[in-house]
Structure 1
Amino acid sequence: MTSSPDPVGTTHPRLAARRGGTAGTWWSKAVLRSVEEAAYSATDLRRGRALARAGSVGSITVSEGRAVAAVSEGQDAFTVEVTVPVLDDTDAAAFTELVAAEAGRIAALMAGQLPLALVESMEEAGVELLPYGGELGSACTCDAWLDPCPHALAVLTQLGWLIQVDPFVLTHLRGLSRDRVLRDLHRIGRPSGSAAPLAAESLGDSTASGDPDRLDDLLVAEDAAARAAQLLELESPFDPI
């Protein structure tokens, strides 16, 4: 059983054209490797990457299990939808518990980091957060018979770039939006250790307790700080793979 889909989603602004590069985080490289696995040929992959780097992908709207964007090529424009399987309720609950299980994990996510130890713990629990090539589906209004077509590969490539800056883009695709993660952490918060202390630690407040209102204030403050940091980072574009 899975939770009801997010009907609105989050729209990420169009990324400007940029030159190629080799920089990247370990998790964004893992996502982009899955894009490589999904491609039918190196030619399609190069064409998709060229479209992504040229800024031909419009704003991307991410919701639970899917992302939608327009891709322009020459005088034509196409609508692309890419899909990723969402975590079922059991795996989603396991994700929340594992984030809350160790101090600093939610702070890392809010700061745009995806702890390797968290992903390894999820894999040990049988929960796959990072997708593999066979999980990436797509549909495009172009006449290509391949799935994914170069336009879909362009969108998937830019999703990898977005995930590099904000791992919550990845969790959202898996069915766990930022707001849902924070809400679920708030729900399981308890005085004995998990969510409240790790939120307090990241803000340098050693006096916080497991009080729900206090935890909520801390998470909201972290969220605001993280969003501000991401806006600053977007002002200086990184070099994607």
Structure 2
Amino acid sequence: MEFGGLGNFEQHGFARTRVWTIDQNPPLLQESKSYRAFVDLILKPSEGDCKFWPHSYEFRLRVALTPGGDIILISRIRNTNTDGKPFTFTFAFHTYFSVSDICEVRVEGLETMDYLDNLKGKERFTEQADALTFESEVDKTYVSTPNKIAIIDHEKKRTYVMWKEGMPDAVVWNPWDKKAKAMADFGDDEYKHMLCVEPAAIEDPLPLKPGEEWTGRMHLSAVPSSYCSGQLDPKRVLYG
């Protein structure tokens, strides 16, 4: 998970490397009754964080599992500044998907979308392919994307279906062979069996005034590949 502002922050933001606490008395929302299990985590700024992120906030993350095995992540970030100052931030769920072979995977839902190519100085392009396939390193931020994206693994005959709310962008990343070998925490051949597709809010940082709260939601399910391959309708109503 990424969370940070526009200043001098560590790569991928700072929320993913901090110690969270478990909410022992989470709110029992109506939708909570539909979960098989869930946990609420809370992150608040430490004294050290204030040196580079001079704002007060409360970050609540709910991780839920449905009876059918779907995963739901709900992030809520509130500006708790008492000095009346607003702040802006960028956000992404840092989601890695296990795939059989990156060369046999396709992503549907991002065709015709504009993207910023992070390998070319964030130059802006428009996706021309009918679906995303992979033959080399990729690091792109697709902007103003649909709420539904599918990652189709032909060999496993499995499709990950992602629904998202509150996050207009989507990052697609795979380091490929040369960069994988240069990464100390990444196996030389692990790039072949992973794909990162992150719901995000990056191009336009999110503003929050004191007392305001932002909510971002991701729902992941795994279904037979025939469910989406060639049939994905990005405009379909969320959860419809």
What TM-score range do you get, normalising by the shorter chain?
Answer: under 0.3
TM-score, normalised to structure 1, is 0.25
TM-score, normalised to structure 2, is 0.25
| Structure with more of its chain in helix, by fraction | 1
| Structure with more of its chain in strand, by fraction | 2
